[in-house]
Chain A
Amino acid sequence: MAEGAAALPPAPRVRFDAVRFAWPSGEEILSGLSLDLAPGQVVALVGRSGCGKSTLLRLAAGLSTPTGGGVDVGDARRAFVFQRPNLLPWRTVAENVALPLTLLGQEDPAAVAAALAQVGLADAAHKLPQALSGGMQMRVSIARALVSQPTLLLLDEPFSAIDALTRARLHGELGQILDERGLTTLIVTHDLHEAALLADRVIALAGPPLRVLLDVPVTSSAPRGRRDLYDPRVGALVRALRAALDVDVAP
């Protein structure tokens, strides 16, 4: 996998340029939002449910089409981790991980094995997803996202349905993967600590229509996913985000 990674195109810059998006009902979710993500930057989007942050992620993934403005992800190879593991129950773990390669016509059992090993599930390759715990299924979902050597990783509340202990472990694993691969990454999360643990930059959002309340860098030299939540800088960041989000709902 490391050899394959060396030949990869660089992580892309992602630009949302005055993006507009409305549902067919006319409800406007985005009304001219602009954002710029540097190559290799890990950006967490936080905000209340329904504010439109998942829509932003779907626009970046190409799963939704803007009704105005533009989304430029260059020649990024995109991967998406959904809120639920979203595994196909009739395919084994290895077959699920291999799905993107199958669709791209690039069957590569070695890459599948390497992706599974990276998330610590090499022994589960021949099991069906329902034989795994929720946390393990989410790790399979992450392996599936990584197997196609993406340059842009999009995660939509990936750990929201997982217990706290498993979540902490997955933060460590994902943080390490993000550090190793240098992918441009967008994570949608409700968990402010998760944002502080994993991201280089956190954007607090409100809406609809979606607007930026706060856009702050995360300053920590600790490895991603293993940052000290009692670090005063992390604490200050979480307090600032909380304040921004609370201020938004105050009368």
Chain B
Amino acid sequence: MSRALPALIGLIALTVWAALAASLPEVLLPSPLEVGRALLHNAPRLGEAALVTASAAGMGLGIAAVFGGVAGVVFARSPALERAFAPYTLLLQTVPVVAIAPLLVVWLGYGLKVSVCTAALVSFFPILTATVAGLRATPTDQLDLLRLYGATEAQTLRLLRLPSAAPFVFAGLRSSAGLGVIGAIVGEFVGSNGDPVSLGYLVLRSARSADTPLTFAAIVASTALALTFYASLRRIETRLIGAWHPGAS
């Protein structure tokens, strides 16, 4: 039943979609069949575009992981620094990335750099907050144990705080995985000139040329990309900490 129910809901949604599409022009809403056809017909093009978007999202996520992780370690150790930077990290999270993207084009020019930046910007905050929360959640008994044997700050971080925070950090990374793809696509809307062709560019261009089935196909490819990122991180998490963290196995 638990497996059948989602499939049933999906089937109902597809049926409603097909019924609606039958009564509307294709340019407004193509049928699921037409979208499937567009997916097959444009598979190589979509695949190449997905690779470009995946590169931008992956690099953005990597940059966010490094900077978010390091900032998380610093903030967890120094509440005063965290308080000092809190308004600015919050600002970074609340300013719409779509509003920053044109500025990035001015500063960086067209191309991959813009989408890498937008992906990094939207991915940064969840990783930062997860890292801070994880580092602060270290059990006090375990901290006492290390204090008893005169552990240095560096030893405590390496041997206890970081491994203990790993499940939190992975949760942050997983949240950021989907956001990173969204950030990259938003960056591509504004900062891509079609060389190379990316999913964001494809969505925008097909919508402008009223090729709605291709727009839908690119959206499906974007969703698949975000899910692939999520699943890959889940897999890495299971491999690295699944043996001792039940939530990751």
Structural contact, A63 and B149, CB atoms closer than 8 A: no
One digit per residue, 1 when the CB lies within 8 angstroms of any chain B CB and 0 when it does not, for chain A 12-25 equals 00000000000000
- Closest residue of chain A to B163 (Cβ to Cβ) is A90
Residue among A61, A84, A99 with max Cβ neighbours from chain B (10 Å): A99
User: Could you say which residues of chain B place their CB within 8 Å of the CB of A99?
Assistant: 145, 149, 159
User: Could you say which residues of chain A place their CB within 8 Å of the CB of B244?
Assistant: 89-90, 128-130
One digit per residue, 1 when the CB lies within 8 angstroms of any chain A CB and 0 when it does not, for chain B 138-165 equals 0101101111111100010001100110
Contact of A103 among B141, B144, B146, B163 (CB under 8 A): B146
**A214→B35 CA distance, assembly (Å):** 84
User: Could you say which residues of chain A place their CB within 8 Å of the CB of B141?
Assistant: 82, 84, 86
Contact-residue bracket for chain A: 20 to 34
Structural contact, B149 and A103, CB atoms closer than 8 A: yes
- Closest residue of chain B to A77 (Cβ to Cβ) is B149
Closest CB-CB distance, A183 to chain B, in whole Å?
15
**A154→B146 CA distance, assembly (Å):** 15
Structural contact, B163 and A100, CB atoms closer than 8 A: no
Residue among B146, B149, B163, B166 with max Cβ neighbours from chain A (10 Å): B149
Structural contact, A78 and B148, CB atoms closer than 8 A: yes
Contact of A80 among B139, B145, B163, B241 (CB under 8 A): B145
Closest CB-CB distance, A251 to chain B, in whole Å?
37
Structural contact, B151 and A103, CB atoms closer than 8 A: yes
**A80→B143 CA distance, assembly (Å):** 13
Contact of B142 among A88, A129, A130 (CB under 8 A): A88
Contact of A63 among B148, B159, B166 (CB under 8 A): B148
User: Could you say which residues of chain A place their CB within 8 Å of the CB of B243?
Assistant: 128
Q: Does A110 contact B (CB under 8 A)?
A: no
Q: Count CB-based A-B contacts (< 8 Å).
A: 49
**A89→B139 CA distance, assembly (Å):** 12
User: Could you say which residues of chain B place their CB within 8 Å of the CB of A86?
Assistant: 139, 141-142, 145
Q: A84-B141, A102-B159, A103-B155 are in contact. Are A90 and B148 (CB under 8 A)?
A: no
User: Could you say which residues of chain B place their CB within 8 Å of the CB of A89?
Assistant: 244-245
Contact of B149 among A58, A130, A148 (CB under 8 A): A148
Q: Does A62 contact B (CB under 8 A)?
A: yes
Structural contact, B145 and A104, CB atoms closer than 8 A: no
**A130→B249 CA distance, assembly (Å):** 14
Structural contact, B159 and A62, CB atoms closer than 8 A: no
- Closest residue of chain A to B147 (Cβ to Cβ) is A63
Residue among B148, B149, B151, B164 with max Cβ neighbours from chain A (10 Å): B148
Closest CB-CB distance, B140 to chain A, in whole Å?
10
User: Could you say which residues of chain B place their CB within 8 Å of the CB of A82?
Assistant: 141, 144-145
**A214→B149 CA distance, assembly (Å):** 33
Instruction: List which B124-138 residues lie within 8 A (CB) of chain A.
Output: none
**A102→B146 CA distance, assembly (Å):** 10
Structural contact, A104 and B149, CB atoms closer than 8 A: yes
User: Could you say which residues of chain A place their CB within 8 Å of the CB of B145?
Assistant: 80, 82, 86, 99
Q: List 24 A-B contacts (CB under 8 A).
A: A61-B144, A63-B144, A63-B148, A78-B148, A80-B144, A80-B148, A82-B144, A82-B145, A86-B139, A86-B145, A88-B142, A88-B159, A88-B160, A89-B244, A90-B163, A90-B244, A99-B149, A103-B146, A103-B149, A103-B150, A103-B159, A104-B149, A129-B244, A130-B244
Residues of B within 8 A of A (CB): 139, 141-142, 144-151, 155, 159-160, 163-164, 166, 241, 243-245
Residues of A within 8 A of B (CB): 58, 61-63, 78-80, 82, 84, 86, 88-90, 99-100, 102-104, 128-130, 148
Known contacts A61-B148, A63-B147; can you find 7 more A-B pairs with CB under 8 A? A86-B139, A88-B159, A88-B163, A89-B245, A100-B149, A130-B244, A148-B149
